[in-house]
Structures are given as structure tokens and as C-alpha cells.
Amino acid sequence: MNGEVNSKCPLCDSEPVGLCQDLDRSLNRFTCARCGTFETVLPMYCRFDWSTIHDRHLLSGLAREHWERHGTPLRMPDSIDGIADLKRLTPRDTDVREKAARLLLGLARKSHFPGEMFSCNGNDFALAYSRNHSEFHYLIGSLSERNLIGSFVAHSSGWNGVVSPAGWVAVDAYAVPNSESDKVFVAMWFDPQMDSAYSEGIVPAVEQDCGYRAVRIDLKEFLDDVVDEIIAEIRESRFIVADFTGHRSGVYYEAGYARGFGLPVIWTCKKDHISDLHFDTRQQNHIAWDTPQDLRKRLTNRIRAVIGAGPHRPSNV
């Protein structure tokens, strides 16, 4: 990689911003004080006028949150349609509740322990997915009014405060979403050769052995946009099972969204496909399975060990 200082960040127009180019993978990697570290493919970066992309502040927030939570750069899609799908993972621009919640989580990440003072400034607008100073001040003020942050003081270079006891309770609640849900979203390759892996491996492990309810989007009747339906199902799930056999881009997308939302992801892949895993997920502890029966046994053990039995668990679990 070759590093240089580029004039502006394509997401927030901050300057200067660090830029590295990896010619082998045809990627640009940006490091921005506001957006964190994120990547674009070279054709996307060169082809589009980023200033014409609507609501870039939402992408800035998503990039910053992904970098802080996972320590890996968010990769921007290589098409306008892909950018539109990515925005579905962000709060609606008028959703004050969701923006304030994500801001609270961001401020908690700045506090290494309860009671430690946090400091934030204009580079932290992305924590609240806000477009400017006024919106950020409004959102951080709403946290103060609800006593989720305390000792809140504005000064010439930003804001200081502390996450309150009530704020830490809220952070814990956000950190384990859907703890009572019986739903498990299954992301996988919808190909006939995977039918037995689902029906003889994943479903009996999730439902019969562990007491949850498996949901696969292609087996569900619905009228709305498929991406909206996927996001709704993931948001209502206790965790997701993501099988990367076949290396479908949608599985990577759905697993990434679940992680961003704070849901546990159980990673699986058939052994003869494991060597082709994308580098972004290769470090995860995948269940490498041979047969549907092998998948069932190992997935059952992983769910019981990492998540625990569900509300419909058999009496012998």
C-alpha cells in the first residue's frame, strides 16, 4: 500500500484525510477523523461525483460505527444501487430515538469505565449520524434531558460529560437486543444443492435441538421490498446463522448488518468452500461442516455454548 494525504473525505468533505491505495485489490482505503476508516473500490471512487450522493452523513455515521465496533473498514458498494441498499442499515434521517441511541453507544465507547468523563467535538458528528453542529447539539441535549448523560458541559471546542447510571442501563439494553426472541434468521445460498443442509442440518439444530424458530427469507410470504423485509427479520431475531457456502454477496451483507445491529452471528461454511472465504470474515470461527448431519451436531453445540437454549427448548436441553 502507498499512503498519501488526500484533499477531502468523499463522505464528509473533511480535510485532510489519509488515503492508501492497494493496487492488487483495486481498493482505496480512507482514514478520516470523522468517518473512521473505510474503503471504496477504485472504479467507484473515480467514476462518481460523491457530492451528488444524497445524505452522505448517514454513510459517514455507518462507516464510523462499523470501524469503532469491529475494527475493520466498511467497504462502500461499487454502485449507486448498492449505496442505496447500504443506507437501509442507517437510521432514518428523522428518527431521533434511533440516532440518540447510537450516539449514546458511541459516547459509552469513549468511556473505558462507568464514571469516566468523555469529550467529543465536531469530528464526532458521525456518532449521531447527524449532518451538522445544530443536529448534533440537539441530539446530545436530548440525552442530557433524559438523564442518560450527566455533567454535560458545552465549551468552545466541543462537549464534555459522563454517561449516567441510567445511561449505562440503556447501553446494556441496546447491547443485547431481542434477548427474548425465538426467531433465528438464516442467511445462506438459495440453491437446490443446499436444501438438505437447511432441512436436515440447520432447521433441526435451531428448532428441535435448541428451541428457536428458523426464518429463511425465500420461504416467507411478503408483499414489501425484499431488502426491507430482510432487515425487519434480522432486527427481530435473537441471533443469525450465516452459511458462506457458495460465497453469496447477500450473506456477507446480512451478516454484516446483524453484527452492526449488535446480534450474535454463528458462521458456518462447507469444508470444500472454506478456502475461498472473503478476507473480511476469514478470521471468524466458522463451523466447517461435511454433511448436513455434521452441520446439525456442530451447530447445535455452538448455539448451546454461545447463545443458550431458546424458549421452545426440549426438556432434555
Task: Please state the rounded mean pLDDT for residues 109-124.
Answer: 92
Q: What is the CA radius of gyration of the chain?
A: 21
Residue 312 within a domain: no
pLDDT at 44: 57
Residue 264 within a domain: yes
Residue 299 within a domain: yes
Q: Rounded distance, CA 306 to CA 317, Å?
A: 14
Residues 166 and 199 placed together within one structural domain of the fold: no
Residues 247 and 264 placed together within one structural domain of the fold: yes
Q: Is the model's pLDDT at 77 over the cut of 90? A: no
Task: Please state the rounded mean pLDDT for residues 232-251.
Answer: 90
Residue 220 within a domain: yes
Q: Please give the full DSSP string across 148-213, using - where no structure is assigned.
A: SEEEEEEETTEEEEEE-HHHHHHHHHHHSTTTT--EEEEE----GGGHHIIIIIIHIIIIIIT--E
Question: Residue 36 pairs with which residues in a beta bridge?
Answer: 32
Q: Rounded distance, CA 168 to CA 24, Å?
A: 44
pLDDT at 89: 73
Q: Rounded distance, CA 48 to CA 263, Å?
A: 33
pLDDT at 219: 61
pLDDT at 193: 93
The model's confidence at residue 249, banded by pLDDT at 50, 70 and 90, is confident
The model's confidence at residue 200, banded by pLDDT at 50, 70 and 90, is very high
The model's confidence at residue 177, banded by pLDDT at 50, 70 and 90, is low
Residues 139 and 211 placed together within one structural domain of the fold: no
The model's confidence at residue 225, banded by pLDDT at 50, 70 and 90, is low
First to last CA, the chain: 51
Residues 188 and 257 placed together within one structural domain of the fold: yes
Residue 317 within a domain: no
Can you give the CATH number for the domain in which 135 is found? 1.10.10.10
Residues 194 and 300 placed together within one structural domain of the fold: yes
Q: Is the model's pLDDT at 46 over the cut of 80? A: no
> From the DSSP assignment, how many helices (H) and strands (E) are in the chain?
11, 13
Q: Is the model's pLDDT at 222 over the cut of 50? A: no
pLDDT in tens, 20-42: 766 556 778 889 999 999 888 76
Residue 311 within a domain: no
pTM flag (> 0.85): no
Q: Rounded distance, CA 103 to CA 70, Å?
A: 17
Residue 253 within a domain: yes
Q: Is the model's pLDDT at 150 over the cut of 50? A: yes
pLDDT at 312: 83
| Cβ atoms 81, 40 nearer than 8 A | no
Helix, strand, or coil (residue 97): helix
pLDDT at 277: 80
Residues 300 and 207 placed together within one structural domain of the fold: yes
Residues 156 and 256 placed together within one structural domain of the fold: no
pLDDT at 1: 44
Weakest mean pLDDT among 170-184, 236-250, 294-308: 170-184
Residues 268 and 192 placed together within one structural domain of the fold: yes
Residue 313 within a domain: no
Q: Is the model's pLDDT at 314 over the cut of 90? A: no
In terms of residue numbers, what domain contains 38? 2-87
Task: Please state the rounded mean pLDDT for residues 239-264.
Answer: 87
Task: Please state the rounded mean pLDDT for residues 253-266.
Answer: 85
> How many domains does one find in the chain?
3
The model's confidence at residue 232, banded by pLDDT at 50, 70 and 90, is confident
Most confident option among 10-14, 101-105, 309-313:
101-105
* Single residue among 33, 60, 87 that ends a domain in this structure: 87
Q: What is the mean pLDDT of the chain?
A: 84
Residues 210 and 103 placed together within one structural domain of the fold: no
Residues 147 and 243 placed together within one structural domain of the fold: no
152 is written with which cell numbers? 454535560
pLDDT at 28: 81
pLDDT at 223: 45
Residues 166 and 114 placed together within one structural domain of the fold: yes
- Percent with pLDDT over 70 in the chain: 87
pLDDT in tens, 54-65: 889 999 999 999
